[in-house]
Amino acid sequence: MLRIAVLFSGRGSNLQALIDGTSSDNFPATIICAISNVPDAYGLKRARDAGIETLTINHREFSSRENFDKALDDALRDRNIDLVCLAGFMRILTLGFVEAWQDRLINVHPSLLPAFKGLDAQQQALDAGVKLAGCTVHFVRPGVDDGPIISQAAVPVLDDDDADTLSARILVQEHVIYTQSVKLIAEGRVQVKAARVFINPN
């Protein structure tokens, strides 16, 4: 069983999708802990309700990003975590942390990367006038929203969309492909070669 930690800062809807997915029969991974940098994040309640250990590591209590990331790293290593899933974790991780967890650290982003990196990706898509938007699960690299792509899903951009309606449509697909991506990794079917991910079909 792959041992997972989920890091988040807010309501934890992707955390809930992972909780639901990993609780299904024969899913080859389990969530060991849920960690938030925000003490009152709603995702903490979701994890507690599912019987998952919760931790709050408040970034405001640390003098530097490096010290905060060391506390994260210590917590993960103490629990023998195999895979770290970022699920709306609103902190930019240091180079040292990202390199230490290379190919064991994944993220979901609400755009079809490499388009529309950073904040407000849905509004960026609307401003650009694209007809398709979507989401991406990828391995994390030092650049913001950068790294080998594991999975993507597209949704139509409707003429009357605003950022909220488009975000809601994308979020449904985030929940699907994040769980699918974790399952592929847990089954040992994901290989990273240079900047690309290859999925073993068997």
Q: What is the pLDDT of residues 68-113, one digit of tens each?
A: 999 999 999 999 999 999 999 999 999 999 999 999 999 999 999 9
In a domain, 144, yes or no: no
Q: Are residues 92 and 125 in contact, defined by beta-carbon separation less than 8 angstroms?
A: no
* Confidence at 202, pLDDT banded by 50, 70, 90: confident
Q: Which residues pair with 156 in a beta bridge?
A: 132
Please identify every residue annotated as catalytic.
109
User: The CATH number of the domain where 87 resides is what?
Assistant: 3.40.50.170
DSSP-assigned states of every residue in 76-143: HHHTT-SEEEESS--SPPPHHHHHHTTTSEEEEESS-TTSS-SS-HHHHHHHHT-SEEEEEEEE--SS
* In a shared domain, residues 32 and 125: no
154 pLDDT higher than 90: yes
The pTM of this model reads: 0.96
Mean pLDDT within 16-35: 96
* In a shared domain, residues 56 and 115: no
In a domain, 85, yes or no: yes
* In a shared domain, residues 60 and 94: yes
Print the domain residue range for 123.
111-136+152-202
Strands 29-36 and 2-8: parallel
Unique residue bearing structure tokens 């699918």: 180
* In a shared domain, residues 38 and 125: no
DSSP-assigned states of every residue in 170-194: HHHHHHHHHHHHHHHHHTT-EEEET
Percent of the chain scoring above 90 in pLDDT: 97
* In a shared domain, residues 119 and 190: yes
Residues 134, 111: Cα–Cα separation, whole Å: 5
* In a shared domain, residues 174 and 198: yes
In a domain, 75, yes or no: yes
What one-letter code names the amino acid at 77? R
Tell me the C-alpha to C-alpha distance, in Å, between residue 34 and each of 3, 152, 156.
12, 24, 32
Mean pLDDT within 22-30: 94
State the pLDDT at residue 134.
98
